[in-house]
């Protein structure tokens, strides 16, 4: 899949490619991308089944990884959050010659025990009758019980788009729900990526734990882990200045 939607910022410097997480879009990284664009050529990717990129019949991390790698025509830094982080890790393992350095944000190369929270989000989104939906505010109210955090609710509603009088979800919710077990897993591989890796976790999140260090270091031996205080799973949205600083130092190192 070479027709992923991308947004590009910056005209000079080394290339940096961003992969967002589940329910997201490339534009979720815009604030940080703008901060980097004076010294880097930044590409924001809409991952398959999200944003303005094509939908697929199934979810497959190898296909995601290959699609992202297919966008890269010279060695680049690759940054990925959550689902996008797993795709980025696999892209580095499968196409190391294209990935000059790697940043993994709040995810580990492991199979997580549960995806129930995300399944609940999708069920609530699918339960909204888009034919009768009056406004984005009505959608927010409909999600309130299942998604009590207003920040998370607002994030999910970024995928709600209006074309004329019709509402639609930009995310392929049916396939995402069906294949959530694929998303919480990580493909088995004996490959090792020797390039520099920055592993950023949210201190209030459970996705980057000490128990996952062995799995990470087995595939990415040149890794440095940083835990960001005051941040949960959406580290870059909750602490953008901190993440920007970490990226600037790592990309220029």
pTM of the model: 0.95
Residues identified as active-site: 82, 174, 233
- Give every CB contact of residue 185 below 8 A, 6+ residues apart in sequence: 111, 112
List the domains of the chain with CATH numbers. 6-112+186-251 (3.40.50.1820), 116-178 (no CATH)
Structure-block tokens of residue 207:
């996705």
pLDDT attached to residue 129 = 95
Give residue 1's pLDDT. Answer: 45
The secondary structure of 222-243 as a DSSP string is SEEEEEETT--S-HHHHSHHHH
Of 214, 155, 213, nearest in space to 21 by CA: 155
The pLDDT of residue 113: 85
Helix (H, G, I), strand (E, B), or coil: what is residue 203?
Answer: coil
Q: List 49's β-bridge partners, or say none.
A: none
The pLDDT of residue 2 is: 57
Exposed, middle or buried: residue 209 (CB in 10 Å: 0-12, 13-18, 19+)? exposed
Regions of the chain with pLDDT less than 70? 1-2
Q: What is the pLDDT of residue 253?
A: 76
């Amino acid at each position: 899949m070479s027709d992923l939607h991308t947004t590009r910022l910056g005209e000079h410097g080394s290339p940096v490619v961003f992969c967002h997480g589940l329910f997201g879009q490339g534009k979720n990284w815009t604030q940080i991308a703008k901060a980097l664009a004076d010294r880097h050529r930044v590409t924001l990717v809409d991952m398959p089944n999200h944003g303005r990129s094509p939908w697929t019949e199934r979810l497959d991390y190898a296909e995601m990884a290959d699609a992202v790698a297919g966008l890269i025509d010279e060695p680049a830094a690759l940054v990925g959050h959550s689902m996008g982080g797993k795709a980025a890790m696999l892209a580095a393992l499968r196409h190391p010659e294209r990935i000059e350095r790697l940043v993994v944000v709040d995810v580990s190369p492991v199979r997580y025990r549960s995806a129930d929270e995300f399944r609940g989000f999708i069920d609530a989104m699918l339960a909204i009758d888009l034919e009768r939906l009056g406004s984005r505010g009505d959608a927010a109210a409909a999600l309130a019980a299942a998604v009590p955090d207003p920040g998370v609710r607002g994030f999910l509603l970024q995928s709600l788009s209006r074309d004329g009088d019709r509402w639609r979800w930009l995310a392929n919710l049916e396939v995402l729900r069906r294949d959530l077990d694929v998303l919480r897993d990580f493909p088995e591989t004996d490959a090792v990526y020797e390039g520099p890796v920055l592993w950023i976790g949210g201190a209030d999140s459970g996705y980057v734990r000490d128990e996952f260090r062995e799995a990470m270091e087995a595939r990415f031996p040149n890794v440095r882990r940083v835990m960001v205080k005051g941040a949960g799973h959406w580290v870059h949205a909750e602490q953008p200045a901190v993440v920007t600083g970490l990226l600037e130092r790592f990309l220029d190192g």
